């Protein structure tokens, strides 16, 4: 196992998170766009996984391109989950709103 195997997923998560936030700002946070955020994040993550596999195969723990797509897609979905976790955590600490649903 290579030392760089562990940094691929956080890098993909960070890039996908930033690109989703830019997309939200550029297109406006409409309900139609927000429905497709997980799908867009998974697709961007899968593309980044394939790019990482072919550009620098030593940094991604994948034996073939299909595994790289799965790692990238899961990392993209993790970016959307991290957005929700951060928002819910901060709201529960700052506002005491633990059970209230928040539109992201």
* Model confidence, pTM: 0.78
- pLDDT tens readout for residues 50-87: 999 999 888 888 889 999 999 999 999 998 888 778 77
Average pLDDT, the chain: 84
- pLDDT tens readout for residues 83-99: 778 777 777 777 765 55
- Rounded-to-integer distance, Cα 103 and Cα 34, Å: 9
26 versus 29: which is more confidently predicted?
26
Question: What pLDDT band is residue 27 in, cutting at 50, 70 and 90?
Answer: confident
pLDDT on residue 32: 85
- Rounded-to-integer distance, Cα 60 and Cα 34, Å: 29
> Structural domain boundaries of the chain?
3-94
């Amino acid at each position: 196992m290579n030392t760089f195997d562990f940094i691929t997923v956080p890098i993909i998560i960070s890039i996908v998170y930033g690109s989703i936030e830019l997309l939200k700002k550029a297109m406006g946070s409409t309900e139609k766009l927000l429905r497709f955020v997980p799908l867009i994040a998974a697709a961007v993550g899968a593309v980044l996984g394939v790019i990482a596999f072919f550009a620098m195969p030593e940094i991604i723990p994948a034996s073939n391109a299909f595994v790289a797509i799965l790692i990238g897609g899961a990392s993209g979905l993790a970016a959307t989950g991290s957005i929700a976790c951060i928002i819910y955590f901060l709201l529960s600490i700052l506002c005491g709103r633990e059970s209230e649903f928040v539109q992201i």
